[in-house]
Every structure is written in structure tokens, then in C-alpha cells.
A and B are shown apart, each in its own frame.
Chain A
Amino acid sequence: DVKVTQSSRYLVKRTGEKVFLECVQDMDHENMFWYRQDPGLGLRLIYFSYDVKMKEKGDIPEGYSVSREKKERFSLILESASTNQTSMYLCASRAITDTQYFGPGTRLTVL
């Protein structure tokens, strides 16, 4: 079975802290994605990556950065967390044109 894991299910941080969300997939997928999900807004793409060391901005990249040093790992970084970044964060991976698999999500609260 494809497995996408995220480092934390729940996270509470303070405004201004640097936050790292880690995502690991075990199926050698080229593509990895970070989304956030907010009520009424659906899934919104933050950043994606098609290969190691490659990154592309999604629809809402402001306030975020990413890192992909290894094929299996894609990290989302909040440089200085703000309360409007309180959300559910979902990581996903897929082979080029195949099914996309999601991680369990990290619910981040920024106080």
C-alpha cells in the first residue's frame, strides 16, 4: 500500500515561530504537494514539487516555503507563523499521471 505520512497530527505554535511540517512518501513518486483546507474554501494548493530540489508555487504560496532535498520527503516551512495560517495541512504524492495519495493531515493552530 502507498503510504504518505506527516510528522504531526496536531501542532500548536505561537505567532512568529518558525514551523516545519514534514511529509514522507514510500512509493518513489515524482510529484509531491502541500495543500491547506479551510471551511468553505476547499483544498488550496500551496506549493508542489516534480523532482528533487525542484519547487513550484501553487495558488497561495505567501508566507510559506518548501524544501525537497530527497525524493521521498517534502517539507513545508512557515517562516514566521501567523494566526491566519491556522488550518488543516495536507500533503499528497502521486506518480506523474496516476492516483494521488494523501497523508493524514496536520491540524496547525497558531496562537
Chain B
Amino acid sequence: ILNVEQSPQSLHVQEGDSTNFTCSFPSSNFYALHWYRWETAKSPEALFVMTLNGDEKKKGRISATLNTKEGYSYLYIKGSQPEDSATYLCACFNSENTPLVFGKGTRLSVIA
């Protein structure tokens, strides 16, 4: 059974701080990892799809790395802003015909 774990569960940072959080998954039978951003009262929005060991992706101030050999991905936010406040979800699947398995998310609050 694929188990995806995220840490920390929640995080409070000051505006302007940089932050990062972790997604851990079994390194065997890895196929792809997705990161989503979920704001309150909205639906989850895709940030990154990552498949290759060593992948690094960037979107504005947000970036992510992937290590499939050791089974983790980091999401980084540089210079956090209040609008970054959201829950960040990580999800994996281990073959193309299986559903994504989601972690429980990291809830980020950025205080102005």
C-alpha cells in the first residue's frame, strides 16, 4: 500500500520568510509525484508534476525537488507572502493506472 506522508502538519511564518516542507513516499515502484496548492473555499490547484530523480521545478517563488532513490520531495517557498497561505498537498502514484495517493497536507499560514 502506498503511503504518502507530509511534514510538518502546519506551519506559521512571517511575511518575507522562506520556508520548506517535506513529502515522503516509498521509493520502490515510484511513478510520479504531484504537488497541489489548496486555498480555503477553492479546489486544489496543481503546482508541479515530477517524475525523474533529481527533478527540480520552479513556478515564481515556489520550487520543488525530487529524490526518488530515498523517497522524498521538498517544496520551497521563497519570501512568503500572505497570499501563499494555503494547504500544500503532495500526491504519488506508482503506475499509470492507479489513483493518486494524497498526503494529509501541510497547512501554511503567512502572517503579515
Chain A residues at the B interface, C-beta cutoff of 8 Å: 31, 33, 40-43, 45, 48, 50, 58, 90, 96-105
Contacts and interface: CB of A to CB of B under 8 A. Distances in A.
A58 B43 contact: no
B42 A99 contact: no
Interface residues of B, number: 20
Given A104-B43, A105-B43, A99 B99 contact: no
B32 A97 contact: yes
B43 A96 contact: no
A101 B57 CA distance: 19
11 contacts: A40-B104, A43-B44, A45-B99, A90-B44, A96-B97, A97-B32, A97-B96, A98-B49, A99-B49, A100-B34, A102-B45
